[in-house]
Structure 1
Amino acid sequence: MLTHFLYGRTSTIVQMSMISVPGGRVTLSDRRTQSSWTLDLAPFRLASVPVTQGGYAEVLGEWPSASRRDRCPVDGVSWSDAISYCNARSLREGLTPAYSGDDEVTWDAEADGYRLPTEAEWEFACRAGTSGPRYGPLDEIAWYRGNSGERSHDVGEKQANAWGFHDMLGNVWNWCWDLYDSDVYGSYRVLRGGGWFDEPWSCRAGVRRRSHPTFRVDDVGFRVARTGP
């Protein structure tokens, strides 16, 4: 089932669908530590595309990206910026914000508002029932260094995976909720998916990247999730 939200800005309308994902099981792995772990997931909803520049501006009134292109994924946003967007959009739509706190953000897992996906949810949705490194041929599903012209592109232009998600690989990296490894990297959060400047190796379902929650760069964005079917 798809739930549709429309964002209007002047002559451009950006449509983003929230896709219901059934519960399931996913195995994550980390190349640095040569470890793997399996998690069970409850049903959740995830945006079919990353948050766009136009959608971000509609909610927060800001254009953090270097160039204004309504339908391109918003970039130049930190993990903390993404948290602020989720709460602001939740309040805008009469939902309960998922996050509270400033210096130390806590997540209310029972809240019905918008949030970042966990990395397990992200990988489960990215794979969409597949087991290989990608859900299709790279040039058909992703904007990466080999075909991007070294810039981001409008969301949804590349082929979706079997569950209807676009740009899970390439275009911009996606912030996830999780700490990467608090014992080693402290507050660093997980990034997934690869971006427009990355080589093919980085644009794979299992690749994990990390960065500080205040980090901003022009190939990092995010997509939103909600708890429940």
Structure 2
Amino acid sequence: MMQNELKEKLKNLSEKFNTELDIISLKALCNMPGNEEISFAITGILNRLMEKYPDDKEILDLLPKKEKISLEELIEVLQETYPNNTEVFTIKALSTFSEEKLKEKAIAQSLERILEVNPNDENIMEYLEIENVISKEKNPDMVFVEGGSYTPSFFNEERKVVDLYVNKYVTTQRDWEELMEKNPSEFKGDRKPVENIVWIECLKYCNKLSEKYNLKPVYKIANNKLLKIIYKDGKEEYPNLADFKKTEGYRLPTELEWEWFAFGGQLALKNHTFSKKGYISDDNKEILEIAWNRHNSITVHDVGMKKPNILGLYDILGNTEQYVYDTAEDGYLDEEHSYIYDETPSILGTVLYRSRGGHYKRDTYYKNNPWLERSSCYTNCRGFRIVRTANPQK
């Protein structure tokens, strides 16, 4: 059904898209027998087109139209999402009220109260016909990643990830040198990941990039030490208490966020391809197609040379590991601060920071890889990928 509807829409497209290779690919896919793989390919191409032409009405029309959620369906979702919430109880009671106009106004009022606390609830916004206003991302390498809830591989409770912009690539040496005016990398190359760097330098880079795009920098740094996290409204919080939903600028992802987009996020959940395996064998052909590791590489490679994941993110696994915000100690992830930040030095005298994704010298792991920050043996194996909160909260 998806292919038939899409085929009809493609017939009516103007000539300006006749040479667009993704449109040609869609036409070819629509003529093939429908199955799960074809649907998966179509979804990927549609997402890519949306990234290229975010404001084009003809491209927007290619996306399947979703029916508005009914009040009964909304109540079911709200009961599951907000158990023991008085506004949800009120909405359920109001749903039986006979006076339609008064009922709708009262229900809308209760829903708006829930939105004050959870402004990104898509089901409520859909029911109230409110558009989700996402600040425009000016950096062309950033991809919008819808948030959601999942149980990470390193914690046994479900936690929520907000909407993010995530860079398609690990930060390159060209991008780094443009802002930092030096290149510490051992394996030189404009399109190769910057490496041979320490965690605090990644934060400094993020601040400079935020300034470049007129965004509020996230990190307050002095004497090579992170002092505070800065919110969009200028307020500051300690690094172990910060709420990154309130930040605007570029930053390192938390480990929870990294795993969310590495595994494919909401798109993979919908397609039933979301993976949280602790380890995938490097003998697996699929891994060798997406990752540079010790089985197919002896050096760092240019970014984007392997296949991306379902969200269009390259080098999620392999090439260089990627720093995250979390420090290396395990602990409890509370719902408000879903990360671990502990500045207590290890027995070796330094703070350890987590990195994820594996690198060219080793097997490819999804598991934690807390290499020593000062280790001369492995500093050329660590890079980083930037993110930013898509719709900062007050």
> Is the shorter-chain TM-score for this pair beyond 0.5, marking a shared fold?
yes
8 Å CA contact 1:80, 1:213 repeated in 2: no
8 Å CA contact 1:77, 1:215 repeated in 2: no
Aligned to 1:83: 203
Indicate whether 1:143 and 2:292 are aligned.
yes
Indicate whether 1:68 and 2:188 are aligned.
yes
Indicate whether 1:131 and 2:271 are aligned.
no
Taking the aligned partners of 2:150 and 2:372, their CA distance within structure 1 comes to 25
What is the identity, as a one-letter code, of the residue corresponding to 2:203?
I
Indicate whether 1:192 and 2:352 are aligned.
no
1:187, CA displacement in angstroms?
Answer: 3.2
1:222, CA displacement in angstroms?
Answer: 0.2
The Cα offsets for residues 1-44 of structure 1, whole Å up to 9 and x where unpaired, read as 64564xxxxxxxxxx611111111232234xxxx5343111111
SS where residue 187 of structure 1 aligns? coil
1:107, CA displacement in angstroms?
Answer: 2.3
Taking the aligned partners of 1:54 and 1:47, their CA distance within structure 2 comes to 15
Change (3 A) 1:213 1:87: farther
- Between structure 1 and structure 2, the one with the greater Rg is 2
Taking the aligned partners of 2:375 and 2:169, their CA distance within structure 1 comes to 22
Indicate whether 1:113 and 2:261 are aligned.
no
What is the identity, as a one-letter code, of the residue corresponding to 1:106?
K
Deviates most, 57-66 or 96-105 = 96-105
Taking the aligned partners of 1:113 and 1:204, their CA distance within structure 2 comes to 29
1:90, CA displacement in angstroms?
Answer: 1.0
Aligned to 2:126: none
1:62, CA displacement in angstroms?
Answer: 1.0
8 Å CA contact 1:45, 1:225 repeated in 2: yes
Taking the aligned partners of 1:184 and 1:61, their CA distance within structure 2 comes to 30
Aligned to 1:13: none
What is the identity, as a one-letter code, of the residue corresponding to 1:26?
Y
Q: Which residue of 321, 325, 328 corresponds with 1:177?
A: 325
1:191, CA displacement in angstroms?
Answer: 0.5
The TM-score normalised by the length of structure 1 is: 0.83
CA RMSD of aligned residues (A): 2.4
Aligned to 2:141: 17
SS where residue 101 of structure 1 aligns? strand
Q: Which residue of 91, 95, 119 corresponds with 2:215?
A: 95
Gaps of 5+ in 2: 1-49, 52-136, 231-243, 269-273, 330-341
Taking the aligned partners of 1:153 and 1:120, their CA distance within structure 2 comes to 26
Taking the aligned partners of 2:226 and 2:179, their CA distance within structure 1 comes to 23
What is the identity, as a one-letter code, of the residue corresponding to 1:141?
I
Aligned to 1:218: 380
Deviates most, 181-190 or 16-25 = 181-190
Taking the aligned partners of 1:224 and 1:215, their CA distance within structure 2 comes to 23
Number of aligned pairs? 210
Once the two structures are aligned, what percentage of the paired residues are identical?
30
The Cα offsets for residues 45-99 of structure 1, whole Å up to 9 and x where unpaired, read as 1101100011100111111101320001110111111001001111122211001
Q: Relative contact order (alpha carbons < 8 A, sep ≥ 6): 1 or 2 greater?
A: 1
Aligned to 1:42: 162
What is the identity, as a one-letter code, of the residue corresponding to 1:21?
V
1:113, CA displacement in angstroms?
Answer: 1.1
Change (3 A) 1:86 1:175: same
The Cα offsets for residues 87-132 of structure 1, whole Å up to 9 and x where unpaired, read as 1111122211001133244323323111001111110101002225
Aligned to 1:11: none
SS where residue 174 of structure 1 aligns? strand
What is the identity, as a one-letter code, of the residue corresponding to 2:360?
W
8 Å CA contact 1:80, 1:214 repeated in 2: no
1:145, CA displacement in angstroms?
Answer: 0.5
Greater share of helix? 2
